[in-house]
Amino acid sequence: MSIRKLVVLDKNDFNKEQKEELKKLANEVVIYEDTPENDEEAINRIDNADAIIVCWYSLSEKCIDFCHSIKYLGVVAT
């Protein structure tokens, strides 16, 4: 599977080394350090992404329905 764009959608606890490893997984990697305020902001962040990693934000059905190009959705939570 080829990942063109990976987005870490929200506030995360990845350290510097982990972020560097994530950057190797796709041609374009966008790592957000804050949580979207609403679904519209989340949708703008994930636009055209092939892979999304979510830490704290609860993706709504509206957001998931928008994700036409998603090949992978990861949740980093306990």
What are the pLDDT tens digits along the chain (78 aa)?
A: 689 999 999 999 999 999 999 999 999 999 999 999 999 999 999 989 999 999 999 999 999 888 888 999 999 987
Q: What is the pLDDT of residue 1?
A: 62
Q: What are phi and psi of 37, to 5 degrees?
A: -80, -25
pTM value surpassing 0.85? yes
Cβ-count burial 19-54 (b if 16+ within 10 Å, e if not): eeebeeebeebebbeebbeebebbbebbeebbbbbb
Strand arrangement of the beta sheet that strand 5-8 belongs to? 28-31, 5-8, 51-54, 72-75
Q: Are 40 and 66 in contact (CB under 8 A)?
A: no
Q: What is the pLDDT of residue 67?
A: 84
Q: What is the pLDDT of residue 66?
A: 87
